[in-house]
Structure formats: C-alpha cells, structure tokens
Structure 1
Amino acid sequence: MVADIKNFTIGVLGSLFATFLTTYIIHFEQFKGSFNFKEIWTIVINYTFLIYWMAVLILLIMARRIIRSRIDKSQTPYPMVLSIGGFHDAEFNAEGHGFKWKAYADVKQWDRSTNEPLDIHVDRVKGPYCTNDFREMKVSRTYWGRYKYKCPKCGYKRILLKNAWTLKSDIGDEIEAGYRDKVNAR
C-alpha cells in the first residue's frame, strides 16, 4: 500500500513537471542570453496547478509524520530488562481487543481456606492470536501509522492504534485487575 502511494506520487509529480516544462518551454526560449530568476519565478507562480499539488503533497507528508509520531508516543515503552521464567503457577486463555491471548502468571497470594488465588502477577503474555483459528497474527503498519493485524490463514484483520507490546501490557493489566477486584470485593 505504501509503495503504491509512493509510486502514484512520483508519477503525478513527474507528469506535472513534464507538463510544466512543455507548456513553458516557449518562455524559456525568449530569455535568449539573459537568465533572470525573477522571470522564472513569475512563470512558476503563474502555474498555480503545480503549486496546489505540491502544497497538498507537503501537507499530506507533514500530516503523516505528525500522526505517526503521536501514535508512536502513545505506546507502552519496552522494558529495559526481561525476565526469563520457566515455571508459572497459572495459565490463562484470554480475549481482548478482538484477539485471543495466552497469559502466564505467578500467584502472589492464596486464599487459605479455599486454596484459590487472590492476587497474581502476569509474567508473560503471548499473542495476539486469531479468534477464528488461534494462529499468530502478522503485524504491519498502515500508511498513516496505525497497526494492522492480519491472520495469514483466514484473512481476519484488525487495525488498531496500539502495537503488540502495548496490547500485551493491557491484557496483562486486565487479568491482574480482575484478581485485584476479587480481593477488594471481599
């Protein structure tokens, strides 16, 4: 998609530049010996269609950069240190943001009478997985910077403002919040 837009933009600019040159080649021949930038500038200003296209193109590029930078700033930062754990007390299958997830957690507090976990710490979240066939989603970015998740088998698509790491952090927090809510309800 991005390559198609770039090819289209280059094609439009090339055709506009060629049209500009062929239309005003007569004016360039009139200069003969003297080459004055002021006269060339008036010719360019008179060709307003080219200027409008260039202004629209510059505005689109600026809007794309601003939107992408705002989306990038809204993401959860990656951790500086990753822990590698092999054993977890609990394993959850969760759903959220239109995907399936697999979460691994360690129990922080148990209920002594029922042996039920009261508080957990989600250590690792795997995913996102497709809701139809539990395949791992492929992630790409759209032209405007949003994140596109697509199932390679069934073609299920979701376009979100959050990257995979931010989604994993949100899912982990939702699972932990569910257990915190149980503790507070007692």
Structure 2
Amino acid sequence: MNRHSPTKGIITAAALVGLVLSGATSAQAREPELHGIDPPPPSVVAAGVAAAAYDASLGQSGAAAAPSHRVELVAKGSARSNRTTVAAKIHIPPGGGVDWHTHPGQVYVIVAGGGELTLLTTGCRRLSQPTGTAFQPPRSAHTARNYSDEPLTLVATFDIRGPKPTVMVDPGRDAQLDERCGLEE
C-alpha cells in the first residue's frame, strides 16, 4: 500500500478517534503503536480574548463574554512533512456554537455526547447530526450550533496542510452570513 494513500489517512484518523474516546493519557499516547504522534500539550481552553493562537486555529471564539465552545487538544502529529493530524474534543454548551469557518483538509467528526449538532452552510441549509453520528463537515464555509438543552461533545480529527485545522471567516463575512441565515450571535 502506498504510504500516502487515503486509506492510511482514514486509519490514522480512526486510531486517533479511538485514542480520544478511550480517554488515553499523554503517557499512553507515546506508546509504539501510535508512532509519529507527539504527546498532547495540556488541554487548551477558550476563555475570551486571552485564548492562545492555536485555539483560534481550532475555531475558538475569543470575543464572547462567555465561551461559545471549548476545545481540548488531545494529540497532534505528522506522518509527512506537509501534513499534520490533530485530534480534539470540542465542547459546545447549550446555545453555543462555532462561528463561520472552513477546514484546509479532511475532517472527521463524531457527535460523542449530549444533544444534537446543527451545521449551517452558506446557503443556509441546516444539517442535523444527533449524538452517535459520524460525519465530514462541508468543505465550504459553515457554522456549528448547539440548539439543544444539553452540553454537546464532538470528537474530531483534522488531517491538514499548514498550521491551522480551522480557519475562521473574516468578521464582516461572518456577520453577512449570520444575517442571511437569520442567526443571532
């Protein structure tokens, strides 16, 4: 098998999701069967404007008074010089969400617990993802919202080129898309 095949990327993503769901620790992440994965840094939490630059690349929103979501970086590694694989847990409280954004690579998401995730596309199409579903978000700009009454946990793997798994759209376009789709911040 070609070492750069899509199948190998899917297997790597599945292994990282398994690591996340099993609750593996940093020490466990260094085991030989996970060769090439750097041990994860401490959990990264959004807390307003003091959020770190890497938080922003994962889609953190630092402008809100209360966090609209929180990201835990679980593991990050690179099998090839131009690609990075990141595993993260995204916690979205009731009424919270991730502003309009895109991903510069393949993304796999599992709705691991809580209510139901609602994705909105730039055409205002709503895609509902209940707990227990796995999906790939649209390649175009989209927003993720938790309209349920329960906290929501997503487990995601990002196989990307470049330093950022999530690229936020500029604030002007974000406001236009919110207005077009009838969303309030």
Report if TM-score (shorter chain) is over 0.5. Answer: no
| TM-score between both structures, scaled by the size of structure 2 | 0.26
| Higher radius of gyration, 1 or 2 | 1
* TM-score of the pair, normalised by structure 1: 0.26
- Point out the structure with the larger helix share: 1
Greater RCO structure (CA 8 Å; 6+ sep):
2
